[in-house]
Amino acid sequence: MNYRIFVLLSITGGLVLSRVPSLRAENWPQWRGPFFNGSTTEKGLPPHFSKSENVKWVADLPGPSAATPVIWDDRVFVNSVDQQAGTLQALCLARATGKTLWQHETGVGISLDEKSNFASPSPVTDGKLVWFFYGNGQLAAFDFDGKQVWSRNIQKDYGQFAFQWTFGSSPTFYAGRLYLQVLQRDVPVHGRGRTDGPLDSFLLALDPKTGKELWKVVRPNDAREESKESYATPIPFTFNGRPEILVAGGDCITGHDPATGKELWRWGTWNPDKITHWRLVPSPVAGAGVELACGPKGAPVFSVKAGGKGNLDDSGLAWKGAEREISSDVSTPLFYEGRFYILNSDRRTLARVVPASGKIEWTGEPGSQAKIESSPTAADGKIYFLNHRGDVFVVEAGEQFKLLHKTAMGDGGDNNLRSSIAIAQGCLFIRTGSKLYCVGN
């Protein structure tokens, strides 16, 4: 099936997947997969695996990154740093063997802090080009043979970012455009932030073939200080024939026209007391007629009714989660087979939630001994995620919580892993601190 038609079918209401089980999404072109919600229709994944069981190949990586690999047909694309050289790297591996097909240095300097690095954003591909973005603003496009098509730096062109931590929003490709969001402070912090012009937060659309600006819209908010900062990724969603780009951050969630960037609707806030340190990490996720935004730091999850217009008050909410019972400070929720799955990194629990009502059907503890900040992904009736140490958990996407499998994939020294598990071509792609595993039957 044509990929664009497949995506269109999947995002119109979120329930198409359960009605057409024979479809298979064989590629994983973006951080949240082919449907922008963490799921795919892949089947036949191995029920058990480890470092030595059902491993097709293992590739050594030049350094750590929270970026998720993306896969298209016979290629695997990986964003990384080279710790020893202190450089940023764009890699392409052969999907069948893990062999490096090409590798390019894309910048010098790898981080601003010890918690993350500039290679945190995930690559994105349309099957012809692949785009690598970095927290220092560097953005580069390559063809599948490794030839650089264009390159530019978003900080250089639009002003230095004003973030307390290392910027890490991933780009999104949708409807023939490349989207980036920069939701930042309105004054410099720690000496970072432009002083030669306004420090606006904005949504940007680029021509993917040239990198030239198609449009830029300022996305204002009433948040204060660090609460203006968002590390989320813009997420496409279509409801009743109306496509939009969801943007979360600055204490609110908005929907934008993909063609023009015009704001269609807005709801907020999860921060009525104007707390100043509520930076946002989880991206929005949508399905079954609702759009989720996760308040940070133990705040509830909020479900906005799709199809809204203008400034929405709380009557525009479908439901609000019980505070701290279902909450996500870092992990982006999953929508799969008509249910949301919300991973609470602080409590180390996974909850299955009914989209229409917010009813919690179950909450389970997988038994993680470390914090979990990866975002759950799903296929073949199973949910996959890993913790900071690289322990991988497989949970059944069923009516009751059931832990199907647990295995240690990390190495000594791995203690801050956040990459999500990509699923494509009948395989799982699991990134640890220094390795990429391809797991399959």
Nearest CA to 30 out of 171, 131, 141, 124 is that of 124
139 Cβ partners below 8 Å, 6+ apart?
A: 131, 132, 133, 151, 152, 153, 154, 171, 180, 211
- Residue partners of 142: CB distance under 8 A and separation at least 6: 90, 92, 104, 129, 130, 132, 148, 149
40 to 336, 372, 441: CA distances (angstroms): 8, 22, 18
Mean pLDDT over the full length of the chain: 93
d(C-alpha 264, C-alpha 257), whole Å: 7
Based on the structure, what is the number of domains in the chain?
1
Strand partners, 70: 77
pLDDT for 325 = 80
pTM of the model: 0.93
Residue 302 burial by Cβ neighbours in a 10 Å radius (0-12, 13-18, 19+)? buried
Which residue has tokens 């001994």?
369
Q: Can you tell me the distance from the alpha carbon of 409 to that of 52, in angstroms, rounded to the nearest whole number?
A: 10
pLDDT of residue 24: 52
Q: Decide: 409 and 58 in contact? Cβ < 8 Å.
A: no
Residue 16 belongs to domain spanning: 3-440
User: How high is the pLDDT of residue 22?
Assistant: 39
Residue numbers of the chain with a pLDDT score lower than 70: 1-25, 323
What's CA 339's distance to the chain center, in Å? 18
Residue 141 maps to which CATH number? 2.130.10.10
Give the pLDDT score at 322. 79
Q: What is the pLDDT of residues 185-218, one digit of tens each?
A: 999 999 999 999 899 999 999 999 999 999 999 9
Q: Which of 176, 173, 162, 61 is nearest to 119 (CA)?
A: 61
| 90 strand-pairing partners | 79, 104
